[in-house]
Chains A and B, each alone.
Chain A
């Protein structure tokens, strides 16, 4: 589970905190810059 940099515990998969790492991947919520269609299709 742990991503490490030179052996040091580091943020996991860009999820910032351990608390997110143990949850399933979040549903994407589209940015205000694009339409709601992105929710199921566009990358972050």
Chain B
């Protein structure tokens, strides 16, 4: 680089967190010089690889956060998340970003008695937590939406939109560039320090440096144990013919999930494919992350079987593509956003896989923090939250691998027909602190 560069705000990471933040900062103060540094290309990480759920799900453990910050604060966080779903949709519409967005809500299905018990409990909890429009459906009502095999119970919430994640993040990158934000791709940052972000060939100096690196945070100096890079894998079928869609239904384009411990997430895409994801290999030793998103044969087989068991109508459909990526999991499974005014260092992330909407709320919160505004958003419970760090290796690897083996075992245990959650999963949740 021909000498160091100066900016008012340097954002590290051109994923949704970084780009939403640049977007709102530039709108709030068009005179700000904002530089975004990106190791690969805009949307390379989870932002461009996820399941395309713009969901109102809180990226955190409601009970634990309420104990720490009070129930009213968590209720307001939930309201802000629900509103953020519509904000994502609104920005896409205003900026002309065609991301195939349909707000069809989320259908969550149970396919064993134990899953049904958990689902009913989850809806009761939702009502306690201010999500009054989360409703239980009978199996018949569920099948009227999507003809899934073996449904024992289902629940629906309207607070979710299906979208094409790469189209959203790419559109957002184009939008912020039009506003005057500078994005440098292929520019990996090796260290973040007060007043500067360091790349291999030069430094961007800025009084405010914002870390928006989510699953890749562990690769930064001093941050290896901050968030665990959790792997998730996806497959997508070929476009399915109208004949099969007549058998399946899914006219509402709901996002689709289940309540298994090793849960799956799916959507009917704008071009009539089914995209479905799940954990696969959950974690790599030393918090290593993949580069190209290659997925093993075994994971592809597992996801294909999950799809075909749920929707036998898809049997024999070609799998056109498979990939994986990393999301970030804080030690207490609760995301965080903040800015240290003394150092000018800010951060947002740890969305535990619920990032499409959370990134938007986090970015508006970061914007208020950078501009020193005391707002409703800066008082939400995740602002300044410190989730603690993960255990050192090899305990981290042994723990995560062990826990996910336990979840697989618990799912098999529950498939036998027991009504209550397998104690194997209950113990695993306690150890993992998974909400």
Digit string of A2-34 for contact with B (CB within 8 Å is 1, else 0)? Answer: 100000111110101111111100111111111
Digit string of B290-303 for contact with A (CB within 8 Å is 1, else 0)? Answer: 00111101001000
Query: A29 contacts B185, CB within 8 Å?
Result: yes
Digit string of B1-36 for contact with A (CB within 8 Å is 1, else 0)? Answer: 110010000000000000000000000000000000
Which DSSP category, helix, strand, loop or mixed, fits chain A's interface?
Answer: loop
Question: How far is A22 from B271 in the complex, measured between Cα atoms in Å?
Answer: 10
Closest to A44 in B: B186
Interface size class of A (residues with CB under 8 A): 20 to 34
From known contacts A11-B323, A20-B166, infer whether A26 and B41 are also in contact, taking CB-CB under 8 Å: yes
Q: Decide if B211 is an interface residue (CB 8 Å cutoff).
A: no
Query: A11 contacts B294, CB within 8 Å?
Result: yes
From known contacts A11-B292, A16-B48, A44-B186, infer whether A21 and B174 are also in contact, taking CB-CB under 8 Å: no
Across-interface contacts of B322 in A (CB, < 8 A): 8-10
Q: Decide if A40 is an interface residue (CB 8 Å cutoff).
A: no
Q: Decide if B330 is an interface residue (CB 8 Å cutoff).
A: no
Q: Decide if A35 is an interface residue (CB 8 Å cutoff).
A: yes
Query: A35 contacts B234, CB within 8 Å?
Result: no
From known contacts A29-B42, A32-B1, infer whether A17 and B186 are also in contact, taking CB-CB under 8 Å: no
A6 to chain B, nearest CB (A): 9
Query: B166 contacts A19, CB within 8 Å?
Result: yes
Closest to A8 in B: B297
Across-interface contacts of B48 in A (CB, < 8 A): 16-17, 19-20
Q: Decide if B199 is an interface residue (CB 8 Å cutoff).
A: yes
A21 to chain B, nearest CB (A): 7
Of A2, A10, A26, A30, the residue contacting B42 (CB under 8 A) is A26
B308 to chain A, nearest CB (A): 16
Question: How far is A10 from B37 in the complex, measured between Cα atoms in Å?
Answer: 28
Of A11, A30, A32, A36, the residue contacting B204 (CB under 8 A) is A32
B344 to chain A, nearest CB (A): 19
B278 to chain A, nearest CB (A): 15
Across-interface contacts of B148 in A (CB, < 8 A): none
Across-interface contacts of A30 in B (CB, < 8 A): 184-185
From known contacts A31-B184, A33-B199, A44-B186, infer whether A16 and B325 are also in contact, taking CB-CB under 8 Å: yes
Query: B275 contacts A18, CB within 8 Å?
Result: yes
Across-interface contacts of A2 in B (CB, < 8 A): 320-321
Across-interface contacts of B300 in A (CB, < 8 A): 8-9
Name A residues whose Cβ lies closer than 8 Å to a Cβ of B: 1-2, 8-12, 14, 16-23, 26-36, 44
Name B residues whose Cβ lies closer than 8 Å to a Cβ of A: 1-2, 5, 37-38, 41-44, 48-49, 52, 164-167, 170, 173-174, 177, 182-187, 199-202, 204, 234-236, 271, 275, 292-295, 297, 300, 319-323, 325
A-B contact pairs, 8 of them (CB 8 A): A1-B320, A17-B49, A17-B325, A26-B42, A31-B184, A32-B199, A32-B204, A33-B201
